[in-house]
Homo-oligomer: A and B are copies of this chain.
Amino acid sequence: LGLDPRTILWKRVMDMNDRALRNITIGLGGTAHGIPRETGFNITPASEVMAILCMSSSMEDLKTRLGNILVGYRFDKTPVFARDLNAAGAMAILLKDAIKPNLVQTLEGNPAILHGGPFANIAQGTNTIIATKMGLALADYAVTEAGFGADLGAEKFMHLKCVAGDLSPAAVVVVATIRALRHHGGISKEALSQPNAEAVAAGFANLQKHIENMQLLGLRPVVAINAFPNDTDQEVQLVQQRCLEMGVEAVVARGFANGGQGMQDLARAVVAAAEQAQPWKPLLEAGWPIRQKIETLATQYYGASGVDYTPEADRALARLNQINLGNLPVCMAKTEKSFSDNADLRGRPEGFRLTVRDVEVAAGAGFAIPILGTLMRMPGLPAVPAAEGMSIDGNGKISGLS
């Protein structure tokens, strides 16, 4: 095939947090033991296969997407896809059971479908299209989740999953906590448990931008205030009042304390919202080049004043253009702690510039991944291994697990 081993993008995965496997040299020891090259391990949820499984609408689609994985480049710079290795069929066979959703139940006996878990940082962070469609087919209401804040989770849910699966949500819930609003209002970690209406008022700017973003997509969200013991009425009412001024209902959700009972108010508000459902409006057009998609999200959705590209990112974009992947959807890889790419900029930052450090590609999943920071695909373990304190006695009684 002429595959240049130095260009292989595909990494092995393992479900073990083993930092020493992040960067390795393999194929050493002579001609019987492979070709020497640099690579590394990721953990399983960071695998493009996970992202693909969740983006697939059928076994046929799964096979096509697996075949579309970009493996690397030939010495003549042309791309090699998994289909060129005749690997897609065997990969699909390995996934023949994995593609089927799993039905479980909640503590209160409600049915729940668990299916797929791609990382929210470098992938779409939401479950399979197949499971969502199965839920919609089986029940009056199907509720699903999108990982991280609405700047990442909701945006990717809409522009990636809903576009690929031809879905449109009847209602959207933005989850907030008084504690997080205090944080966005400038309160330090130590003081976050103390009531502070002033900080909540300041921090509301963050929630406000999330609500505006939902409205930008043509959605009318319900805000769920996830209740904590030290929330004060004053703080909660402040948030509800401000939401109301934006035309949005904010409901206290007491599921953690009271189970289904505590969620009834929220459920009623969501049902009401769903009855007024409107089709959503994408912010990004499919035909746009990747840069335009990035810049539109950066300025309109995150509030940045502009976007800078490192030379690596420029080169990556040029390479994607050369192999006709220059108009892929984008799956932004940005910190979940700020609208910006700086985790310390809380609230609703403005005037900042985003730096695109690199652009990776998940051609099988069907998106480009602009990298706006340092991302971990193989977590580490604590300095003192938790294993140290664990034991099991002769009767099988385990101690030391916390």
Contact = CB atoms under 8 A, between A and B. Distances in A.
Interface stretch (A158-166, A219-227, A394-402): A394-402
Interface in A1-47: 4-7, 12, 14, 18-38
A388 interface: yes
A37 B7 CA distance: 15
B311 A374 contact: yes
Contacts of A388: 85-87, 90
A190 B305 CA distance: 39
A93 interface: yes
A31 B74 CA distance: 11
A119 B7 CA distance: 31
Interface in A211-267: none
B96 A398 contact: yes
Interface residues of A, number: 59
Given A19-B34, A59-B395, 19 more contacts: A4-B31, A14-B14, A21-B26, A22-B34, A23-B27, A23-B28, A23-B33, A25-B25, A59-B392, A60-B394, A86-B387, A86-B389, A87-B388, A89-B400, A91-B387, A92-B392, A93-B401, A96-B392, A96-B396
A393 interface: yes
A391 interface: yes
B7 A20 contact: no
